[in-house]
């Protein structure tokens, strides 16, 4: 007996074609979702910059952190160091900086802000971390600035993280 070849009927051809089209549509949908997520991620890209200002023989010193990127920066970690010694808070560091050498100028003023984990710095906003006025106090901060390091790790609302450093051996923001 000879084998007979079976012909594909129109229903089988339609089924195979529908399956191929469905698989292609699935891959296209996954690719489009991936592109959409990338676009969302780049539309919310914070960038923190740490800067300071002072007069060498003047009477003020300040240290700021500013978000110059797009979208809020969520603080994930803060490290404050002086000559390699860590400090737990800006309060602890400022107290150290002013008490290791007696401040002779009684007319100085000092203001500082803590930068804590889960703090949010909105787009275009800055936070003044240290603000000192008075010649002697300014001189002390300028002296200490040479070995001061501030490292801040922050994230976008989508969880991408970057680190920015200020101080000796500091570097620009880097992605984690």
pLDDT at 49: 95
Element spanning 9, H or E: none
Residue 38 and residue 65: Cα distance in Å, rounded?
A: 27
How do the domains of the chain map onto residue ranges? 9-42, 48-175
- φ, ψ for residue 162, nearest 5 deg: -135, 160
Residue 33 and residue 93: Cα distance in Å, rounded?
A: 47
Which of 53-57, 121-125, 126-130, 166-170 is the least confident region? 166-170
pLDDT at 101: 58
The DSSP code for 169 is T
pTM: 0.73
* pLDDT tens by residue, 37-96: 777 766 788 999 999 888 766 788 899 999 999 999 999 999 999 988 999 999 999 888
* Torsion (CA) 126, 129, 135, 137 in degrees, nearest 10: 180
Tell me whether residue 148 is exposed, middle or buried, using C-beta atoms within 10 angstroms of its C-beta: 0 to 12, 13 to 18, 19 or more.
Answer: buried
Second CATH level (architecture) for the domain 48-175: Sandwich (2.60)
């Amino acid at each position: 007996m000879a084998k007979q070849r079976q012909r594909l009927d129109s229903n089988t051809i339609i089924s195979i074609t529908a399956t191929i089209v469905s698989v292609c549509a699935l891959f296209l949908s996954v690719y489009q979702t991936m592109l959409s997520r990338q676009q969302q991620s780049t539309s919310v890209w914070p960038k923190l910059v740490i800067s300071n200002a002072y007069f060498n023989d003047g009477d003020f010193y300040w240290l700021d952190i500013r978000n110059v990127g797009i979208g809020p920066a969520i603080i994930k970690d803060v490290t404050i160091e002086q000559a390699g010694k860590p400090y737990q808070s800006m309060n602890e560091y400022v107290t150290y900086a002013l008490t290791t050498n007696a401040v002779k100028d009684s007319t100085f003023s000092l203001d500082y802000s803590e930068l804590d984990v889960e703090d949010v710095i909105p787009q275009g906003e800055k936070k003044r971390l240290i603000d000192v006025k008075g010649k002697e106090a300014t001189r002390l901060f300028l002296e200490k600035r040479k070995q001061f390091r501030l490292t801040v790790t922050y994230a976008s609302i989508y969880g991408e993280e970057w680190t920015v450093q200020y101080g000796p051996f500091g570097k620009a923001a880097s992605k984690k």
